[in-house]
Amino acid sequence: MMQMTRRQSLALAGGLAITGARRARAQASRNVMVGGFDVGPGGFQGNFNPLAATAGFQWLNLYYETLVLYDAALENIKGALAASFESNPEKTRFMFHLVPDAKWHDGSAFTSTDVAFTIALAKDAKLGSIFASRLADITDVQTPDAHTAIMVLGKPNGSLPDILTKLMMLPEKALSALPREGLDRNPWWSTSPIGTGPFRFVRYETDQYVELKANSAYRAGKPKLDGVINRYFKNSAGAVAALRSGEIQFSYVESDEAAGFANDPKFHVIDGNSWVMNYIGFNARAGMWSDVRVRRALLQAINRDAIIKAIFKGAADPALSIYTAGNVTPKDLDPYPYDPAHAKLLLQQAGWDKINGSKPLPMLSYYNTPLVTNVMTAIQAMLGQVGIMVTPRQVDVATYNGIVYGQNNDAQFPLVYAGAQDGPEPGIANIYINSKQAPPAGANIMHADVPDLDAALNAALAEPDASKRPARFQQVARVFNTELPWAPLWVGKRYGVLSADIHNFVWTPAPSGGGYEQNAVAWSFS
Amino acid sequence: MLRTTLRHLGATAAMLVALSVLMFGLLRATPGDPVAAYMDPTAAYSAADIAALRHRMGLDQPLPLQYLDWATAALHGDFGYSTQHDRQPVRAMIAERAGPTLLLMGSGLILSTALGIGAGILAALRRDGPLDVALAVVGSLGVSSPAFLTALLGLFVFAVRLGWAPSGGMTTPGVPTTIADLLAHLALPAAIFAAGQATLTMRYMRAAMLEVMNHDYIRTARAKGVGEVWVICKHATRNALLPVVTLTGANIGAAVGGAIFIESVFNWPGMGLLMVNAVEARDYPVIMGSALVIGLFVLLINLLTDVVCAAVDPRIRVR
């Protein structure tokens, strides 16, 4: 009798496990797509406040909406909650014509007062809004009628539409009913938020998933999917396991993981430009990089083509300046081909052939993947051949930022291997490489101080004529390529893996995960 | 007995204060802070962006003031607000995750104790036989395999290859939670958690059984004609269990460490995952609150073990 009971227990346990796995895979039959939407560098698991979001915009855009969005190729800014917009030539006055039939998930109408309310909220630094400084140029929001919002700026800012592609519109009626003090930590964001998007918030299951259901009153029609679930994973390896076992239908994956799905008919591998240019940064305060010949020597000592071919398996494109987008990258840039003999010569001419002194230079990085470890090891070996001894030091993001943004830490990072967003708005480069943007003012962590580059950037940012802007930024690229405040290496591709059961899914590995037009209404199971 | 208990209670309180000071000091000495962790290193932040974040996270106060504020509030059960997670109250975050961790640890410990004791008895009874050798090999593997490696292997084999278990989480997303669904998600992480603990218990049990089986009272029982099953169950096992009980108490402390790995691999929404995420994000209030609660838990278990031992063995009471 006792033996029977044990057998029954074992059978029950096994049965439960198998039943559970089958249930997990049965999501498709319920017309609910499950994905790891916040896996990888564009994701931001556990963040529900769009004003504090530094990433995760793909997911937020499913239930909130912005005034404007990029197209899926991240080339043009289009209307979203604003059907169209225009600005004066000086870029100090932007007029947004709102769509007439947008409704919040509680049924109330979306109007221009919601726009004014959102801007006021986003400019309130006390609420920890990441947009507070970015929207500082806006001095007034006028609402002449319910479907027109006019933003008046104190000084020209051609980048405003780009900023607005990530600013989710928020409901005045719902949020003004909550106490302003502590609004950023109000449970509303993770329990009952309302937006105007194609899906509505259902619930957040702590550390596990967020569930949305189709918004049947959406102005573009009811989504084909009944719901979307964003499952949380500690890393992409967990997401890969869930993809393989059929529990989820989409996730970002690392490039080496993507290769495992390439020939599997059950999946589609989506790739795209990461919009992150990897570079070796020269700390201008370290002394040894002040002669441009030394910086050129380091770049020519690295066989970028070999690293792209052997380690990235072709999943990267070489970079020649801070930009890689076609319209701001001129054709006449110096490619600095791999030439270790010339690199040695340049070091000798500059008097820096004994650049290390008595010990290797640390090369700091926040990248911790095995792929980057291989990349940094290859760079270490290549630089060693021309007499530049470096030691890779891979730390976590917090440690990296703590060092590079800290004071008096220069000895810890004469070199960094890092990445910088290089688009789609080219003006973003200003905060990285303009000498006026060295910490604490901005993100020029390598303290680049190149007057010609500053002049080119200032001219490009001040250019009011949109048709002339690309030429202005091409000049920035040229000066960057000549002066090399950083050694540009490559722009990697990023990968997403999608179940072959899903149709019309749009994913672009955009910086911070968005905001681009993803047409979620049309997503469907086959 | 009362003096012993009071003395242990005093030591526990002092250790908690020391733990909080140590944690606070170590966290501030660690490179990077919550703002540094919050910032995407490929994105551009202005000084105003960073100042707003520092203010939001309460880092614009002098260090001693930050500790005093935290300690005063903690004495009232308020551990402050997370610097991430939409600034949720830490107490609520811990309360929400304590249940899943206790469920995982509890089921894992029950499973590991039962398996360990059973296997230890079998190994002792079949000393130097094939079963003993096989169990010794399994035991060595279990003890020497890091928890995260066992967890990853288990995930790959049972979730990905065989499809017998879900790949992670505590429930199936988007469907009503049922006991069967919960057990299905619990089975694999609990079994892997138990595997590491059970091997240690088995080795202790085997050694204790071998020692006990040579005692005179076992020989006497057999000489009196008591059946072998009764001798093993009543006389040998009961006496051999004493060191295993002590080990189980100590295992609870180690189990907290194991739970961190298991929860990370299986995305089990417990204290371990909370701690790992908080450390990565330099979420000081969550790290401090969680460490204090886990420390208190372990210290209370130790206190309980000490008190029970003192009750059982009068020689170790305070005079």
**Which residue in B35, B42, B271 has the most chain A C-beta atoms within 10 A of its own C-beta, making it the best mutation to test that interface?**
B42
| Over residues A285-306, mean pLDDT | 95
CATH architecture of A65-177: Alpha-Beta Complex (3.90)
Inter-chain CB proximity A227 and B174 less than 8 Å: yes
**Does A337 have pLDDT greater than 70?**
yes
More reliable by pLDDT, B43 or A269:
A269
Nearest Cα residue in chain B from A237: B265
Other beta carbons less than 10 A from residue B14's beta carbon: 10
Could you tell me the residue ranges of all domains in chain A? 1-63+197-266+500-526, 65-177, 273-493
Nearest Cα residue in chain A from B283: A398
What is the maximal distance between C-alpha atoms in chain B? 86
Inter-chain CB proximity B55 and A46 less than 8 Å: no
Which residues in A lie closer than 8 A to residue B273 (C-beta atoms)? 207, 234
Confidence bin at A73 (pLDDT 50/70/90): confident
Which residues in A lie closer than 8 A to residue B274 (C-beta atoms)? 207
Which residues in A lie closer than 8 A to residue B170 (C-beta atoms)? 208
- Contact assessment for residue A236 and residue A251, using Cβ atoms and an 8 Å cutoff: yes
Inter-chain CB proximity B167 and A241 less than 8 Å: yes
Nearest Cα residue in chain B from A231: B173
Inter-chain CB proximity B168 and A432 less than 8 Å: no
Tokens describing residue B82: 């997370």
Gap between the Cα atoms of A497 and A236, Å rounded: 11
Helices A469-483 and A451-462 sit at what angle, rounded to 10 degrees? 170
Residue A315 is which amino acid? A
Which residues in B lie closer than 8 A to residue A440 (C-beta atoms)? 47, 50
Which residues in A lie closer than 8 A to residue B87 (C-beta atoms)? 128, 184-185
Gap between the Cα atoms of A395 and A409, Å rounded: 15
Class at the top of the CATH hierarchy for domain A1-63+197-266+500-526: alpha beta
Say what the pLDDT of residue A1 is: 32
Residue A158 to chain B, least CA–CA distance (Å): 17
Confidence bin at A24 (pLDDT 50/70/90): very low
Gap between the Cα atoms of A425 and A16, Å rounded: 52
- Looking at mean pLDDT, say which of A193-197, B167-171, B189-193 comes out highest: A193-197
Q: Going from the N-terminus, what domains does chain B have, and what CATH number goes with each?
A: 2-60 (no CATH), 98-316 (1.10.3720.10)
Which is the CATH superfamily of the domain at A273-493?
A: Dipeptide-binding Protein; Domain 3 (3.10.105.10)
- Contact assessment for residue B44 and residue A431, using Cβ atoms and an 8 Å cutoff: yes
**Does A257 have pLDDT greater than 90?**
no
A439-486 confidence digits (pLDDT tens): 877 789 999 999 999 999 999 988 878 888 899 999 999 999 999 999
More reliable by pLDDT, A11 or A391:
A391
Inter-chain CB proximity B52 and A133 less than 8 Å: yes
Say what the pLDDT of residue A410 is: 86
A385-415 confidence digits (pLDDT tens): 999 999 999 998 888 988 998 878 888 899 9
B246-277 confidence digits (pLDDT tens): 777 777 777 777 778 889 889 999 998 898 88
- Three-class HEC string of A45-94: CCCCCHHHCCCCHHHHHHHCCECEEECCCCCCEEECCEEEEEECCCCCEE
More reliable by pLDDT, B56 or A499:
A499
**Does A26 have pLDDT greater than 60?**
no
Share of chain B above pLDDT 90, in %: 14
Inter-chain CB proximity A421 and B43 less than 8 Å: yes
| Over residues A288-313, mean pLDDT | 95
B130-160 confidence digits (pLDDT tens): 999 998 888 888 778 887 788 888 888 998 8
**Does B287 have pLDDT greater than 50?**
yes
The residues near A290 (Cβ < 8 Å, ≥ 6 apart) are A284
ipTM above 0.90, yes or no: no
Which residues in B lie closer than 8 A to residue A234 (C-beta atoms)? 264-265, 267, 273, 276-277
Nearest Cα residue in chain B from A274: B42
Share of chain A above pLDDT 70, in %: 94
Gap between the Cα atoms of A58 and A512, Å rounded: 8
Say what the pLDDT of residue A225 is: 97
Say what the pLDDT of residue A4 is: 38
Inter-chain CB proximity A125 and B155 less than 8 Å: no
A95-112 confidence digits (pLDDT tens): 999 999 999 999 999 999
Other beta carbons less than 10 A from residue A101's beta carbon: 12
